[in-house]
Structure 1
């Protein structure tokens, strides 16, 4: 019964995350405040989905069961209300208290997640016990290495949650870089690093292949160090550049590892194309970030960097993995098939590509067309996911 309760809570986090993805693309299309888009994309879509799948996957990866099955039901309303509060705060005439309340709610939801997962794995923090079966004994080194960095992810989540509250409530901050510091702690330290840790356990099994072992160590180490250096030294200086290089190595190394896995594998399920396109977008995104760190750039470069990493790398990877866990083809409602799933990812990827071109070249029409395509892709993703949840689980 407790396992079913955790699974239900995980699905609800993923479902709400899908709705935030749609809202994020709409705010981009109508040119809402930039900060609102970041909140809806990062705090809403990415981190709701991360929390949902984290509840479902991380305990089993540490050979444990979630110690508090009610935790997902507790964190969801806090994270959701917090995201809404933070998203509306940048609009004119919205009282500052709305942003403070939103930040506190979201931080409390994050702490529920950290507390539940942390308490579950408290006696196995290094992740030496992996739950790896005998048939996968050759993967145990990679599984242990990936597990060892999960506590780092949780630490970044606590730091990012505190930074969000501190900036909103004018308290002493960790990075001194405003909400940009909080966003980088959460996007790179939680979103990207968890993609690396979970990805090295999950994706090789999906593809029935093995990643290059040396790349695993390099990616995890660089991915753990980079976010702190970037967030604490944004916009200039030696350590900012070191952090940008570390992030480039991490994302680039993960991209190489996934492409190798994909090429070696004979499996070509529709969801596996999401991470494939996502890692390519991620490489371009961190390349823009590195260029910004070493040579500077226009506001268009900054926006392209943010969209490529958040919607391209994290977004398309998440969408593809979600289609692996929840295959649309098992549904019987209209459009529930792999073609619609492929169309969803195709619209997101093509829309992002057109938007990035428009952003870098200063072509507003291209940006608008790209963002419209992204709205369509996000809507198809939400339609498939929510339709499947309703049909299969009555939710």
Structure 2
């Protein structure tokens, strides 16, 4: 029964994530509309980042982590009620964080939002930590005998999950420290540092760790073990160096280079899996779009770090990494767990699912091209395309959940 409860709440996390995704894309589009006027100033970057990271990405991470991490450590979730306690806290907290920078919302919205969101994180970390308390490094992997050849990679990937939880706690601390006076025990991270801790340290590293277990099974292929050995350590160290040395060389350059190694290595590993597999499903193409976006995103980041220029691409860098790499990877994995074809409503098909991913991917490419060419029209068209893709994806997912 506890597994059924966890599965039900995992869906609710994903539903919330999809709604945050649509809200993020809508606000991102409004922010670049030529006729938006005062509305542009009314939607500061902090609100968009909260929608993207605290809302969209991390609610998807929370939902699937409750389902996958315990089983990957050969355990069952020790506190089955944790997701039910957690979701209202982080969902309400994310709304507060989004509202805080908006006028004329009082500053207390940010304080309450940060505290609620951090409380949800504590519930999450405590529940998973208690679940794996006697197997903290994941030496017991739950790998079946049929997949015994994967056990070495599974064990290695598991060892990085505690690092993910550490980054999540650090990011929660940074989120709260922005609004609430805390004891002067640790340096207070800046907004950009906190974003890197959560997006790169928590979400991306978990995608690397879980992805090296999940995608080989989906595709019935094996990744190059040399890439696994490089990607996970680089992905574990890079966010800390990036956050510590952001815009301060040589640390900034070292962190950017290591993060690029991790993302490009993961992209190469996934491309190898895709090439070695004879399976072709809509979710696999979405992940392929995602890792390609990630490569573009880290290349832009390397340009920041090593040339000290190109900062007009900051928004494109953020969106390529968060909407492209993290977002499309989430979309692809979600299609595997909840295929569009199980729905009976109009448009519930693989073709529609692929169209959603393509709209997001092409929108990001158009936005990047438009920013480089200084074409506001292309940027607007790109964001409109991404919004359309987000709406289609959310509609498919919510429709499947409603019918099932």
Q: Shorter-chain TM-score: which interval?
A: over 0.9
Residue 97 of structure 1 and its aligned partner are, at CA, apart by 1.1
The answer to whether the 8 A contact 1:75-1:110 is kept is yes
Q: TM-score, normalised by structure 2?
A: 0.95
The equivalent of 2:396 in structure 1 is 384
5 Å matches for 1:264-279? 264-279=276-291
Does 2:245 match 1:240? no
Does 2:304 match 1:288? no
Secondary structure at the counterpart of residue 168 of structure 1: coil
| Aligned match for 1:313, one of 306, 311, 325 | 325
Q: Residues 158-199 of structure 1, C-alpha deviation per residue, up to 9 Å, x if partnerless?
A: 110011101122444855441111110000000100000000
The equivalent of 1:332 in structure 2 is 344
Structure 2 regions of 5+ residues with no counterpart? Answer: 32-42
Q: Residues 36-75 of structure 1, C-alpha deviation per residue, up to 9 Å, x if partnerless?
A: 1111011101000000000000000000000011111111
Q: TM-score, normalised by structure 1?
A: 0.98
The answer to whether the 8 A contact 2:10-2:66 is kept is yes
The answer to whether the 8 A contact 1:41-1:310 is kept is yes
Aligned residues: 392
Name segments (4+ residues, structure 1) moved above 6 Å: none
Structure 1 regions of 5+ residues with no counterpart? Answer: none
The equivalent of 1:144 in structure 2 is 155
The answer to whether the 8 A contact 1:248-1:290 is kept is yes
The CA distance in 2 between the partners of 1:196 and 1:278, in whole Å, is 13
The CA distance in 2 between the partners of 1:154 and 1:109, in whole Å, is 13
Q: Residues 361-385 of structure 1, C-alpha deviation per residue, up to 9 Å, x if partnerless?
A: 2211111111111111000011000
The answer to whether the 8 A contact 2:304-2:311 is kept is no
The CA distance in 2 between the partners of 1:176 and 1:284, in whole Å, is 30
| Aligned match for 1:352, one of 364, 367, 392 | 364
Does 2:201 match 1:189? yes
The equivalent of 1:84 in structure 2 is 95
Secondary structure at the counterpart of residue 198 of structure 1: helix
Q: What root-mean-square deviation, in Å, do the aligned CA atoms of Structure 1 and Structure 2 show?
A: 1.1
Residue 299 of structure 1 and its aligned partner are, at CA, apart by 3.6
The answer to whether the 8 A contact 2:50-2:98 is kept is yes
Does 2:39 match 1:14? no
The equivalent of 2:45 in structure 1 is 34
The answer to whether the 8 A contact 1:177-1:234 is kept is no
